[in-house]
Amino acid sequence: MGDALGQPTEGMTPNAVRARWGRIEGLLDPAAAVSDDTEFALFSARVLLDHGGDPTSDDVADAWLQHVVPQTGPFRGAGFSEMAAIDNLRHGLRPPTSGRHHHAWSDGLAMRVAPYGIYAAGDPSEAARLTRVDGSVSHAGEGIHAGVAVAAALALAMTAGVEALEDVLAEAPSHVPTDSWTARALRRGVAVGAAAADPWSAIDPLHDDLAVRHFPWMDLGPEAVGLAWGLLAAGRGDFEATLLAAVNLGRDADTVAAIAGAVLGALHGLPVVPEAWLGVLRPAEGLCLACVRGMELLDTADRLVALRASGAAA
């Protein structure tokens, strides 16, 4: 949902969003398709399912080499981190070396880790481990920390009660180095968001505090998770307002909204989603990754839950 909502404002500032649309209060395009954020998450789910919930980094790299690297059409919407990893893999590099490049701290891992939180429901440490396994193919350092934080929080959210948002937000920093940029951004985001009356009033303070405006690209992992955590703290569980605030904030809006939506979706389930947004739940079109064309979001999530249940029963 967040991916589809946020695409029109990706790369913009809050002032630029206001100048063009005023206040966005819903899907700008009711027929919006998901982008690289969701399609890479579906690919991660596919690898997890193909390897019985326990892939190695070599398994992930082999999957990229088999299904992603040979793609001849454009990787529409793919970030610099993914394209650098593809190039490294194409030239024979393997993880973790394939993930060590000049854009290794992007939010490209954080955007795709929902499958690990779903599969490792109730086990944040396992979700974090799986994220590190996956992340070493395309990311390093802060890029991996940002992904780990999101996956760990999602795993807790999957089994926590709907009133446990504060606990979920507090879980994330405990899985990354205390003095990391990611941990500092998570803590700062929560502090700024909690001080706001609602997610709408948190937009400008979060942008002013966390946005790295001197850098030309807006897909920094620590920034994205810090903004998402700030909006979640300000939204206090309100799915619609939290995601729409992410859209109106801009920056890497589709990723920030996707992360926030994943956390609240894990806490509350599908009934929290506004009826008008459910049309987004269509099979993936393969706009970025041709190999996930036809994969269905809810079916994939159900398969991840069933895989975990079968492992627990065994």
Query: What is the predicted pLDDT for the residue at 313?
Result: 55
Angle at 163 between CA 161 and CA 166, to 5 degrees: 110
Evaluate the omega torsion of the peptide bond into residue 199 and state whether it is cis, within 30 degrees of 0. no
Query: What is the predicted pLDDT for the residue at 268?
Result: 95
Query: What is the predicted pLDDT for the residue at 162?
Result: 85
Answer with the residue of higher pLDDT: 312 or 128: 128
Count H helices and E strands in the chain, helices first.
15, 0
Q: What kind and span of H or E run contains 223?
A: helix 221-235
Nearest CA-CA partner of 220 in 264, 246, 251, 198: 251
Residue 314 predicted with pLDDT over 80: no
Interval 91-110: pLDDT, tens: 999 999 999 999 999 999 99
Tokens of 103: 């854009």
Query: What is the predicted pLDDT for the residue at 33?
Result: 87
206-214 long-range Cβ contacts below 8 angstroms, 24+ apart = 206/230, 206/231, 206/234, 206/249, 207/13, 207/14, 207/249, 207/250, 207/251, 210/185, 211/251
Dihedrals φ, ψ of 251, to 5°? 55, -135
Close Cβ partners of 307 (under 8 Å, ≥ 6 residues apart) = 48, 49, 52, 53, 119
Residue 15 CB neighbours (<10 A): 11
Question: Measured in whole angstroms, how far is the alpha carbon of residue 172 from the centre of its chain?
Answer: 13
Q: Residue type at 128? A: A
Domains, the chain, with CATH or none = 2-22+32-308 (1.10.4080.10)
* C-alpha span between 283 and 106 (Å, rounded): 27
239, exposed or middle or buried, with CB in 10 Å at 0-12, 13-18, 19+? buried
Query: What is the predicted pLDDT for the residue at 186?
Result: 98
Mean pLDDT of 246-274: 96
Query: What is the predicted pLDDT for the residue at 215?
Result: 85
Dihedrals φ, ψ of 253, to 5°? -60, -40
Q: Residue type at 286? A: G
Interval 4-52: pLDDT, tens: 999 999 999 999 999 999 999 999 988 888 999 999 999 999 999 999 9
DSSP 226-289: HHHHHHHHHHTT-HHHHHHHHHHH-BSHHHHHHHHHHHHHHHH-GGGS-GGGGGG-S----SS-
Q: What percentage of the chain carries pLDDT values higher than 90?
A: 92
Query: What is the predicted pLDDT for the residue at 312?
Result: 65
Q: 8: helix, coil or strand?
A: helix
pLDDT confidence band for 237 (50 / 70 / 90): very high
Interval 271-300: pLDDT, tens: 999 998 988 889 999 999 999 999 999 999
Query: What is the predicted pLDDT for the residue at 260?
Result: 98
Query: What is the predicted pLDDT for the residue at 149?
Result: 98
Tokens of 159: 């089994």
Query: What is the predicted pLDDT for the residue at 30?
Result: 82
Return the exposure string of 188-203: e unless at least 16 CB atoms fall within 10 Å of the residue's CB, then b.
bbbebbbebeebbebb
Average pLDDT in the chain: 96
Q: 106: helix, coil or strand?
A: strand
Query: What is the predicted pLDDT for the residue at 289?
Result: 97
